Amino acid sequence: MFASRSSVLLALTTLLTLFSTIDASPVERRRNNQDSNLVLNQYKVPTTVGASTLPTPTGTLKAIALGRGTQNYTCSTASGTPVSVGAKADLFDVNPLLKSITIAQGTQLLNLLPQFLLNFDLSLVQRYSIPVLGYHYFNGGGQPMFDLGSTGFLVAKKTGDIAAPGDAYAGQFGVGYGAVDWLNLVDAGGSTGISEVYRVETAGGMQPPTCTAAGPIQVQYAALYWFYQ
């Protein structure tokens, strides 16, 4: 599903607003963070796709991040089926965006951002120095990890899993194998500051149905991550 011209322009304008906050003074950054925390309390994570629903969050919303990276797979043989071996993503802070727009506008923006940013190479996104909240990766034991620096650290396990909407963005420029599932993950032990995360509004990331060669496969994806304590 391709975004309309007006939607793309809205996303671009909002991203430029985010860029303008990068050079704020320390006092301004602290004030922006405080304002953003107040605004966050008015947002509700989407948990329902059709008849399927993720568990309802019970904690306090700490942050919303835009994840941009790759879903990683491997093929043992050229004729096999790709097997998931985790993911790796930068988590960009969207909180500063929300204090300057209405809740309705913010909700529309959050829903649009993953498919919009998926169309940019990660290196280009990094070059623009969008504020990074943290990083998502898998440890050597295959556990999903979320490192948000001073905000918290989550060692996670999956407790909810539903398919993305049928019209979710399939891949870069709308070409791909589909959007990865929406997830609910909770503390698996050893976490600090964060006890739960939701991966929603996914764009891209699904593996091809069959392998064409032995070895790793990286599939570009983007998603919203909602973090709770």
DSSP states along 48-72:
EETTEEPPPP-S-EEEEEEEEEEEE
CB of 117 closer than 8 Å to CB of 169: no
Q: Please tell me which residue, 228 or 25, carries the higher pLDDT value.
A: 228
On the question of pLDDT at 33 being above 50, the answer is no
On the question of pLDDT at 36 being above 60, the answer is no
Quote the percentage of the chain above a pLDDT of 70.
Answer: 80
What digits encode the pLDDT tens for the residues 122-148? Answer: 777 666 556 899 999 999 999 999 999
On the question of pLDDT at 17 being above 80, the answer is no
Alpha-carbon distance of 117 to 139, in angstroms, equals: 26
Most distant CA atoms of the chain, gap in Å? 58
Work out the number of other CB atoms within 10 angstroms of the CB of residue 164: 23
pLDDT (mean) for 168-183: 96
Alpha-carbon distance of 153 to 136, in angstroms, equals: 10
Whole-model pTM: value is 0.85
Q: What is the pLDDT of residue 101?
A: 82
